[in-house]
Amino acid sequence: MMPVEDNLDNMYKCICSSCPSFAGKPYFYCAKGKAEHPSLHEGCYCKNCPVWKENGLEKNHPEDPYFCENGKAT
């Protein structure tokens, strides 16, 4: 599996900013990496994101991945 491409198409699909655990900028964590500040741990929306689905992230990240804390998808 390839890492998530850091491009405008994927960035516009990103739903990080609507997540209850949103950790602030920079968002689009599965491609850009960890947030500057810790997550609020109020639930993870990654599995509902079109980027998650289109990039097959469930293969390596079956649990709530908290990319905002754990860094880029691999």
d(CA 40, CA 18): 13
Give the residue extent of every domain in the chain.
8-70
For residues 17 and 44, is the Cβ–Cβ distance under 8 A? no
Give the length of the chain: 74
Helix residue ranges per DSSP H, the chain = 8-13, 29-32, 50-54, 67-70
Give, for all 74 residues of the chain, the pLDDT tens digit.
568 999 999 999 999 999 999 988 878 999 999 998 888 889 889 999 999 999 998 888 877 788 998 889 88
pTM of the entire predicted model: 0.86
Phi (first) and psi of residue 54, to 5 degrees: -70, -20
Sign of CA dihedral 38, 24, 21, 68: negative
